[in-house]
Amino acid sequence: MNDNDDLKSDDLAFAGKLASALDGPLDDATLARLQAAREEAVHAAMQARQGRARWYVGGSAGGAIAAGLALFFILQSPSVQPLPDLDETELAVVAEMELLESLELLAWLDEEMLASEEVDEG
């Protein structure tokens, strides 16, 4: 006989003992332990279910509050007014001002870069 046959014979022996033990009625201590285990399993399942229900309610309420706040802030934000119509001279002045601001920014950045290079070298 090999190990596989020994395993099968052990399994068959255990199955026979189990079947003979279950043929007769169970004693009161075993029935009480089975009933206690059953009640504990039902109680644990109910606790897990109630925990999930709390998350569903809390998550739903939180989502509703967040959506309400978002809607409130969207409705309270000022609307963008269209720019007034400008004639050609006003448009030229605005474009010139923007160009000057851009040039001032570039000059400032150039000064900052030179100053940082002097600090790095010194």
- pLDDT tens digits, one per residue of 37-55: 888 988 888 877 776 656 6
Report the distance separating Cα 75 and Cα 69, nearest Å: 10
- Domain annotation covers residue 108: yes
- Domain annotation covers residue 121: yes
Per DSSP, the three-state class of 27 is coil
Report the distance separating Cα 3 and Cα 1, nearest Å: 7
- Domain annotation covers residue 35: no
Domain holding 92, by residue range, is 86-122
* Number of structural domains the chain divides into: 1
**pLDDT digits over 78-110, tens only?**
776 776 777 888 878 888 888 889 889 888 988
- Domain annotation covers residue 64: no
CB 86 within 8 A of CB 94: yes
- Domain annotation covers residue 24: no
